[in-house]
Structure formats: structure tokens, C-alpha cells
A and B are shown apart, each in its own frame.
Chain A
């Protein structure tokens, strides 16, 4: 189904004081594959996301991108390597316009001396932001409107569209369908499918299990800091997934590689 392994973590651990948040987790993500990362609160999902996105350095374990071992000192490092992360509800600056948000951190500057002083090529960015968003199927009314004037669904679409437009390898989406209505959530899932079609590896973190079952190729279940199940989505239905998450369904533990 999917391409080569693009992103991999091997046996990563992270503890906060005496609390073990992540205990020897290993994960492989292929190009053009959507992985669902699920688990109860406190299962270690957000810790794993932070390790994957470069926000936290693991205490132990290895990270591989395109087969080469890497280490992230900051989210910026991971970003520059082609890994985009969208955190829940806080991806956009509400007072900035759509295009300013799309280009935030990657602004295009004017040519010549003005560019040297950091003066921005506003029109260029507006046009391109619009085109980038359209490419992943998002029609935003006007890219020069401030984000606070958009609806919640449009905002989320812009945030994800931005990640998809920029991601070169991996895109990590933390609860992207939270607080969205059914139709808007459907649009978000459409964008995830577009990202998959682009050949990106997608990590989709969500509590909304029907969305996970709908859009993912593989589901990874975390419980108490450990990965307790990693299997194709076709092996799950709603009940078995809930059972695996809560632990009422016994899972065979696979130790290391």
C-alpha cells in the first residue's frame, strides 16, 4: 500500500521526574500512510507527539528520518527537516490574515535592499497562500482577511492546509477535528486524504474514534506510556478499538525489535 519508511522512532522513553510518560515506544511511518495514534488521557500520546515534533528530547531511544538517525533540539529543527506539527486549537494567530498565517515563519521578502531589511513581499504571499490552500481543497474567501473573522471550521482548515502545503515528509495532527461540526470535520478528513495522496506520512491523533477508523491505514494504541497495539485499521472496529484503549481487551506485548 504505502511507500518507504520515512519516519521512525525506536525504543524512545521519556520521564518527567519519577513519572514515566513514555516507555520504550517504537513506531514506523511510511510515505503516503496515515497512522492513527490513540489512547486514554495520560497514555503518553502528547509526549510521543512532542518527541516526534522536536518539542521534547527523549531520554532514550533513536529517531530516524529517511533512514538517517536524527536528533531534534527544537521544533524548528524538525520543521526544517520537513516535519510539520499542528497542535490542537492553537495553530493560528487570530489577528493575522490568512496569508500571513500560511507564511508565518517562512515569509517571502522583497528583492534587493528592502528585502535585506526584512520588508515583505505581501502580494506574492497572498496569491501563493490562496493557491496553496486551493491545492489541498480549501476555498478560503479572501486571503487578506484576518483569521478571527473566519468560522471555527474555516480556521482549522486553514491551519491544516498550511501544514499540508509546507510539509515535505511528515505531518502530525493533534486533535484536528476537535470542536468541529460533522460537515467541517468531514472537510478536515478530506484534507488528510489529500495529504496522503501527496505522499506525506500523516500521524493523526484523535479521541474521535470514528474519524480515526475512517481516515487511517494503521492504528497505534498507547496505554500507560507503552504501545500496546500496532495493527492495520481493518483489524479494528469501534468496539475492539475502545476495548484495546481501555485495556478490557488483552493485547500481546511485543518487546522491542
Chain B
């Protein structure tokens, strides 16, 4: 009797846990798509989904910090394009390495390119922070402005054409198409996500992020330098977007000005599906990781069962709306 009660309590606990709900959704999606198209359940599909996941989860992780702090960062997609073309230009024209460079000589330049890419992203993040803190522009408008500026600059910088450079495509391919869908690049991304996740949930940096999103006035009264922390958060979001920029570059073998266009929508969708509140103060790193995975499982699945790719954006939009509606209902029921 007691045992069954404990079991019921345990199941209740599991269901109310956001991560288990998201895992459940992921499992159901996988089963449904496999039933509709048996080829869906394969290492190749898993590799596709993971590769897409890698390009968006980084900006979604940055977005998680921003959203928990009560802000929003619309510039993340544009930063992918800008940092991609700038680092491609750097590798091709300054380091003198081109797409003809042998793959085994590409690692050094790629590492330097990654640093440039992250620096470009962090710089845009810093501009966001200045606009928000000094000019007192609300985050939505401030990052909308830098998004436009970054998109424009990346087109000007590249004359609208992709800039190709050195690469090793093996880094982005599955380690073993028979059993291991992960690529070297995805593993690196996963490690970055894990470390930032620890900082969000275990460190002072994360605590202040929640505190500011929860009640900025109380945070300030407790002696927290709110402006400085906001600056750090937007610089982090920019830097992670820059890292996503070099990832996308490695995927394409070139820096393309439009390579991140619209990705901010994916990032916001992933964060919201993961259970974060756009009002601030609520959100989990696990939620964002699984939210991104769900997003691309849906997108891959739809394409594989024959839905036209143009429907992707519509589906993302529906997912955002559904996730926010679910949150609102949950809050009405007195749960958070």
C-alpha cells in the first residue's frame, strides 16, 4: 500500500519535472516519425539532427541567460553571419589559407578563426549591453538594431558572397555512421553547453542572472551591480553566437553573410519550449538543450515524411505559441 503510494508520488514528481516532460515529448516524436517513415530511425538522421542542434544550441544557451535575466537577444542569428564572414576573411586573406589548404593544416587557422569569431560576437554583445545600460534602450529594440547592423555589415564586408577558407569536413561528420552519430564539433559544443550549464545552476554568475530576472530592484538592493552583470550576460550571448559562427563556417566551409538569418527565432523557440519564462527568473539549461533537440527532431521529421521545407518556420512559430500557452496554463494551475 505504502509502496504503491510512493510509486504514485514518484511518478507525479517525474511528470511535473520539466526535463522528463521534454524527454517524453522527444520520445513520442521519435516514435511517431519512425512509424510514418521507418528510415527516420537511423544514425544518419541522428547525425543530421545533432549537426543542426550544434549550430543553434550555442545561441540558445546564450539566450537562456538573457531570457532568465529578463531580457531578449535578437542579434544572435546575425552574429553567426557576421562572425562567420569576418573569421573566414581573416583565415583566407590574412592567414592566407584557402579551401585548397590540406585538411591536416587547417586546425591552427581554424582555432585562430574561432578566436576571431568569438571576439566579433563578444564585441556585438558589448554594443548590446551599452545600448541597454547606457542608452536605456529596451533589449528588444537594442538587439533588433544590432541585428540589423550586423546583417548589413556582414553583407558589406563580404560583398554579399560567401568567403571560403580552410576546413576539415571530417570534424563535422559523424564519428562512425554505423553506430556513433556524434561529430567532433558536436562533442565540443556539448562540452561548452555543459560547462555553461554548470555556471548557470551552480555559480554566483548564474544566481545573479536569476536574481536580476526575478527582481532587479531586490538584486540592486542586495548590492549586486546589475548593469555590470547585464553587460556580462550580453557579452556571453554574443561570444557564444560567435562560437556558433565558426561552427556554421565549418559546416559550410565558408563564411556566408546570410548563414544565421532567422536563427534567433530558433533560439528563442528552443528556450521557451525548454520552459524558460520571457518574463525572467525562470529557465533551466536542460530545458534549452532538450528544447533545441525537439525543434530539430520536428524539423527533420517533417522533411523526411515529405512536408515541404518551407513549412519549417510555420512549425517553429506554432511550437513557440504552444509552449508559451502551456506555460500560461501551468501558471494558472498554480504551478511554476
Contact = CB atoms under 8 A, between A and B. Distances in A.
Interface in A88-134: 90-96, 100-101, 104-107, 109, 117-120, 122
Given A76-B223, A90-B215, A104-B222, A95 B281 contact: yes
Interface residues of B, number: 24
B106 interface: no
Contacts of B205: 118
Given A94-B281, A95-B281, A118-B205, A75 B215 contact: no
A100 B207 contact: yes
Interface in B273-289: 281-282
A74 to B, nearest CB: 8
Contact of A105 (B210, B222, B282, B336): B222
A117 B224 contact: no
Contacts of B281: 93-95
A96 B210 contact: yes
B214 A90 contact: no
Contacts of B221: 75, 85, 87, 90-91
B213 interface: yes
Contacts of A104: 207, 211, 218-219, 222, 224
Contacts of B217: 87, 90
Contacts of B210: 93, 95-96
A46 interface: no
Contacts of A109: 204
B203 A96 contact: no
Contacts of B282: 95
Contacts of A93: 210-211, 214-215, 218-219, 281
Contacts of B211: 93, 96, 100, 104
Interface in B193-214: 198-199, 202-205, 207, 210-211, 213-214
Contacts of A178: none
A251 to B, nearest CB: 33
A247 B137 CA distance: 44
A104 B212 CA distance: 11
B313 interface: no
Given A76-B223, A104-B219, A96 B202 contact: no
Given A100-B207, A118-B203, A120-B204, 18 more contacts: A75-B220, A75-B221, A87-B217, A87-B221, A90-B217, A91-B218, A92-B215, A94-B281, A95-B214, A95-B282, A96-B207, A96-B210, A100-B211, A101-B218, A104-B207, A104-B218, A105-B224, A118-B205
Interface of A: 75-76, 79-80, 85, 87, 90-96, 100-101, 104-107, 109, 117-120, 122, 146, 148
Interface of B: 198-199, 202-205, 207, 210-211, 213-215, 217-225, 281-282, 336
